Amino acid sequence: MKKTVEDFIKQAERYGAKNYAPLPVVLTKGDGIYLYDINGKKYFDMLSAYSAVNQGHNNKKLIKAAIKQLKRLYLTSRAFHNDKMGDFLQKIAEITGYEKVIPMNTGAEGVETAIKIMRKYAYEKKGIKKDCGEIIVAENNFHGRTTTIVGFSTDKTTKEGFGPYTPGFKIIKYNDIGELEKAINENTIGYLVEPIQGEAGVIIPDDDYFRKVREICDKYGILLAFDEIQTGLGRTGKLFCFQHYGIKPDILILGKALSGGLYPISCVATSAEIMNVLTPGTHGSTFGGNPLASAIGIASLEYIIKNKLPENAEKLGKYFIEKLKKEIMDDDIKEIRGKGLLIAVEMKKPVARKVCIELMRVGILAKDTHEKTIRFAPPLIIKKKQIDKAVMKIKKGFENFRKCSCT
């Protein structure tokens, strides 16, 4: 007998940890900006696996690169050199403008790696008293799920129950320049921050916030580390979000779309002076920089650049926002905002999940974040006509939501 949606969900719930609350849809196929469920129903993907699938689902170029490499060599560990990693690291260095790159796997690992580099650099090169360093982070941050990272989260669900927490982090308000300067003392190592807070609900700081942040970091000689795991690689309408602000962080963390979603790949890029604090044995990963990841990473980056995905995100992001404002804006919506194709609709009441269910019913897969916000972040290959169609469906979804919330 054919398994039903309920069968799949029950099975996952029976054998899996309940650490997610997915929408009740079971997907089986992807193609470009579309996803298909087990009954053949087609959906617009408006999440892109939290911005990992910027290059679109079932991307032929990426699959070809992966298969070619799979048939040759997929893992050596870093005990030996492989003939792919160098090309991958060089490519990242060239497009980011940093001298050195360390490859890892998940985003959280990338962030952990940056934290280790920042600490070691501060103790060895900046004369900060050993084991006393402080890294400043922002309220409502999201940097991943490891024990160290959740320890400096300000979200109760993310943090509570996982202590004792790693010391050495100081939390300040996001987008408040006075708070940053006040928080700095002789033990400050640097500021680790998202250039737009994605998981917090697409929170975009003032245009000049990060220019001022850069000035303060330079004034006090502290490091600025950008977590661009979600915002990087074209999502916000530039290859990197820092380019919007006319500054460059000292440390850049990438993940997600670095692989186009085919494989977990992350990295940290920085100067030679900073990266050189890592010496043999101080950090590593069995899978980081493996030949398969490297081949996929190279193809992913080439695809983003060749197909001008940042430019598309810039142009169509503005179009998408305008269309949403025109078609769905009403009294129950607080704001529609975004940068590039990282777009949020913030409701006045905590109804985002209900809206997402109605959107799913009309063929739009979007995800609620923090109860009031719905994020729209399609693959960056989306075309204008597809946005037109998607917005009509979104409009229908909102109409249905409004109808059922009145009754």
Ligand X SMILES: Cc1ncc(COP(=O)(O)O)c(C=O)c1O
265/328 with CB nearer ligand X: 265
Number of CB atoms found within 10 A of residue 350's CB: 12
Instruction: Output the smallest distance, CB 151 to ligand X, in A.
Output: 15
**At which residue do the structure tokens 């050199």 appear?**
81
106/188 with CB nearer ligand X: 106
Question: How big, in percent rounded to 5, are the helix, strand and coil portions of the chain?
Answer: 40, 20, 40
Return the DSSP state at 117: H
Q: How many residues does the chain have?
A: 407
Q: Compute the distance between CA of residue 266 and CA of residue 103 in angstroms, rounded to an integer.
A: 6
Return the DSSP state at 38: T
- Give me the catalytic one of 45, 91, 169, 227: 227
395 a catalytic residue = no
257/277 with CB nearer ligand X: 257
142 a catalytic residue = yes
Q: Compute the distance between CA of residue 291 and CA of residue 347 in angstroms, rounded to an integer.
A: 45
Question: Angle, nearest 10°, between helix axes 291-306 and 60-70?
Answer: 160
- Give me the catalytic one of 44, 88, 142, 226: 142
Instruction: Output the smallest distance, CB 285 to ligand X, in A.
Output: 13
Instruction: Output the smallest distance, CB 275 to ligand X, in A.
Output: 20
Instruction: Output the smallest distance, CB 107 to ligand X, in A.
Output: 2
Instruction: Output the smallest distance, CB 329 to ligand X, in A.
Output: 27
Q: Compute the distance between CA of residue 26 and CA of residue 35 in angstroms, rounded to an integer.
A: 10
Q: Compute the distance between CA of residue 285 and CA of residue 137 in angstroms, rounded to an integer.
A: 25
210 a catalytic residue = no
261/317 with CB nearer ligand X: 261
Q: Compute the distance between CA of residue 41 and CA of residue 36 in angstroms, rounded to an integer.
A: 5
Please report, as ranges, the residues that interact with ligand X according to CB under 6 A. 50, 106-108, 111, 142-144, 194, 198-199, 227, 229-230, 255
255/397 with CB nearer ligand X: 255
Q: Please name which of 193, 189, 198 lies closest in space to residue 177, comparing C-alpha atoms.
A: 193
- Give me the catalytic one of 120, 238, 256, 323: 256
Position closest to ligand X via CB: 107
Q: Hey, which residues are catalytic here?
A: 142, 227, 256
